[in-house]
Amino acid sequence: MSILPAIRLASVVKRFGDLTAVDHLDLEVPRGSCFGLLGPNGAGKSTTMRMLTGQAEADEGIVEVLGHRLPGASRHARAVSGVVPQVDNLDDELTVEENLAVTARLQRIPRERRQEAIARGLRIARLSERAEAATRSLSGGMRRRLLIARGLVHAPELVLLDEPTVGLDPQVRQQLWSTIAEIQAEGATVLMSTHYIEEAERLCDEVAVMHLGRVVAQGPPATLIASHVGREVLEVDGAPPTLARVEHEARSAGLRTRRSGTSVAVLDAEQLDGQAWAQGERRKPTLEDVFVVLTGEELA
């Protein structure tokens, strides 16, 4: 029974006019896992998320959420999913508590469990003290927390987080990480998109790198790193002419490089002769290196 994946996308296509936002996408998210969607701006992450709630309808392919085939059964899918959207859509005419109370009613949580749900939301948002406050009076970070809590009031089986930590201070971001760990411990499946690669590396059991509407690589972070950028990276700082020279030399040695700002990174650096390449600093490769190699784009 539980071999059924939480999310199954098979050859999914979504077009907006001439633009193909999602291009024959295949994706399976195992139950109970935390799955990360990485990709540059416009890769199709949000469009993919919206197809999982029936808010965008695929032109081709199969979309299944917890065994419910969309868009037909999207209502059943949404009842067991919690959504944290990229664009803030909190209800500004309501208070903090009312935002949660209205969501609890829209979810039709039975009357006798509504208070429990609202309390859960306030706790997750850490806004119990501000329950009566007008939503528009909250700071940006508090709004984010409420947005996240609102998606979790009904203790969903699947949580869709579209860039949940944008605009959060480091401390709150870490609190969110522990929230995500908690909901995963409750048994929920988490699908999150993010531009913070560290976040994906730390939280996700598996990540998929999207580019131009397709998955270009997928696997556990460590496996992706090992198979795409080797065991070591050499990072050289310097002026543009130095960097250009390093790039040239590395490429003639058959290695890939990555330029970012004032430094250049040479991948698979374990293959380099330590004597000739004494300059720079050797470090462990990261998921970010994989990302850049695969998509050819630096992160915003």
Partner 1 sequence: MSATTTAPDRGGSLTVGVRQRRFEPGVVAAIVYREWRVFRRVWFSTAFGSIVEPIVFFVGFGFGFGALISEVAGLSYLEFMATGTIAIGIMFSALFPGLINGYSRRTERHLYDGQLAAPVTVAEIVAGESLWNGLRVSVVAMVTVGVAFAFGVRMGPGVVFIPLIAIISGFGLCATGAAFAAKLRSWHGVDIVVGGLIAPMFVVAGTFFPLDGLPRFAELFGRVNPLYHCVELLRAAAFGGYGLWQVLGHLGAVLLFNLLAWLVAVRFVRQALID
Ligand X SMILES: Nc1ncnc2c1ncn2[C@@H]1O[C@H](COP(=O)(O)OP(=O)(O)OP(=O)(O)O)[C@@H](O)[C@H]1O
In the complex, which residues of this chain contact partner 1 (CB under 8 A)? 1-2, 4, 14, 16, 47, 50, 53-57, 64, 66-69, 72-73, 75-76, 78-81, 83, 85, 87-94, 98, 101-103, 105-110, 113, 116-117, 150-151, 153-157, 186-188
Q: Which is nearer to partner 1, 2 or 275 (CB)?
A: 2
> Which of the listed partners (partner 1, Mg ion, ligand X, none) does 218 bind, with a CB threshold of 5 to 8 Å by partner kind?
none
Residues 74-93 vs ligand X: string with x where CB under 6 A?
A: ------------x-------
> Which of the listed partners (Mg ion, ligand X, partner 1, none) does 186 bind, with a CB threshold of 5 to 8 Å by partner kind?
partner 1
Residue 39 lies near ligand X (rule: CB under 6 A): yes
> Which of the listed partners (ligand X, partner 1, Mg ion, none) does 93 bind, with a CB threshold of 5 to 8 Å by partner kind?
partner 1
Smallest distance from ligand X to CB 162, Å: 7
> Which of the listed partners (ligand X, Mg ion, partner 1, none) does 73 bind, with a CB threshold of 5 to 8 Å by partner kind?
partner 1
Residues 6 or more apart whose Cβ sits within 8 Å of residue 244? none
Contact residues for Mg ion, defined by CB under 5 A: 45-46, 86
Q: Please, which of residues 41-60 interact with ligand X by CB under 6 A?
A: 41-47
Judged by CB under 6 A, the number of residues near ligand X is 12
Task: Give the DSSP per-residue string, the chain.
Answer: -TTS-SEEEEEEEEEETTEEEEEEEEEEE-TT-EEEEE--TTSSHHHHHHHTTTSS--SEEEEEETTEEETTTHHHHHHTEEEE-SS----TTSBHHHHHHHHHHHTT--HHHHHHHHHHHHHHHT-GGGTTSBGGGS-HHHHHHHHHHHTTTT--SEEEEESTTTT--HHHHHHHHHHHHHHHHTT-EEEEE-S-HHHHHHH-SEEEEEETTEEEEEE-HHHHHHHHH-S-EEEEE--HHHHHHHHHHHHHTT--EEEETTEEEESSGGGS-TTTT-SSEEE---HHHHHHHHHS----
The two structure tokens encoding residue 121: 């939301």
Smallest distance from ligand X to CB 113, Å: 34
Q: Which is nearer to partner 1, 102 or 222 (CB)?
A: 102
Smallest distance from ligand X to CB 43, Å: 4
> Which of the listed partners (ligand X, partner 1, Mg ion, none) does 29 bind, with a CB threshold of 5 to 8 Å by partner kind?
none
Nearest Cα residue to 78 out of 16, 177, 4, 151 = 151
Smallest distance from ligand X to CB 203, Å: 18
Q: Which is nearer to Mg ion, 45 or 130 (CB)?
A: 45
Q: Which is nearer to Mg ion, 85 or 221 (CB)?
A: 85
Q: Which is nearer to Mg ion, 56 or 127 (CB)?
A: 56
Task: Give the DSSP per-residue string, 160-189.
Answer: EEESTTTT--HHHHHHHHHHHHHHHHTT-E
Residue 16 lies near ligand X (rule: CB under 6 A): yes
